[in-house]
Amino acid sequence: MNPLSIARSEFILGGQKSGKSRRAEGLAAAWLARSPHHRAVLIATAEAHDDEMRARIARHQRERAERVPGLATLEAPRDLPAAIARAGGAETLRIVDCLTLWLTQQLMPLEDFESNQPSAPDWQARTAMLLKAIESCPGPIVLVGNEIGLGVIPLGREVRAFVDALGTLNQQMAVTCERVTLMAAGLPLTLKNTQGAME
């Protein structure tokens, strides 16, 4: 199988700096090269709450523009289903980067910490809406997420709950997506592939 063949839906997961985003960008570049009518949009879920994060986002934007000049960006830290729907039609490849940040903002929204009034958002219902958006997406979609469940079990209750929730989200994505790729040291390992490549 060509490592840069395009599936209708692909879930890329791995550890920090494993090459997840680079693979997603490579898929976008391959998609754009296939036709002058193709488009690619990165749906970014990060929010800049401090100077370090602002600098990190700006650096990623510069580097991404150099690697894939035709890749547009749509910021959608909260409402991913709506962003997926409005990103384009069948000619548009969407990259969601990343699901881990999106889940963090569902479970631990910053405004709750600032107000000291914790809420309990129904992240399962929001995840169900996201899964429906993926299934009905008119063009190819690539979703990036972290695998953080391979290390030691964290001591804190909240952190354990987050690791559990992310593991559940990753499993749901793996069931929904037609291809699942695990990244390690920049190398892709195909865990699932149930469909041929898209043109």
Mean pLDDT over residues 160-188, rounded?
96
Nearest to 23 by CA among 142, 107, 128: 142
Cα gap 142→7, rounded to integer Å: 8
The CB density around residue 24, as the number of other CB atoms within 10 Å, is 26
Mean pLDDT over residues 26-55, rounded?
91
Task: Note whether 38 and 32 are within 8 A (CB).
Answer: yes
Does this model's pTM top 0.85? My answer is yes
Mean pLDDT over residues 42-50, rounded?
86
Task: Note whether 87 and 140 are within 8 A (CB).
Answer: no
- Whether the pLDDT of residue 35 is over 80: the answer is yes
Average pLDDT for the chain:
88
Confidence of residue 120 (pLDDT cuts 50, 70, 90): very low
Q: Determine which one of 37, 38, 49, 60 is catalytic.
A: 60
Where are the alpha helices (H) located in the chain, listed in sequence order?
A: 20-34, 51-67, 80-86, 99-107, 110-115, 123-135, 157-176
Query: Higher pLDDT residue, 109 or 91?
Result: 91
43-47, 55-59, 78-82, 85-89: the lowest-pLDDT one = 55-59
The pLDDT of residue 1: 43
42-51, 92-101, 105-114, 161-170: the lowest-pLDDT one = 105-114
Mean pLDDT over residues 139-152, rounded?
93
65-79, 81-95, 171-185: the lowest-pLDDT one = 65-79
Which tokens is 64 given? 């991404």
37 assigned to active site: no
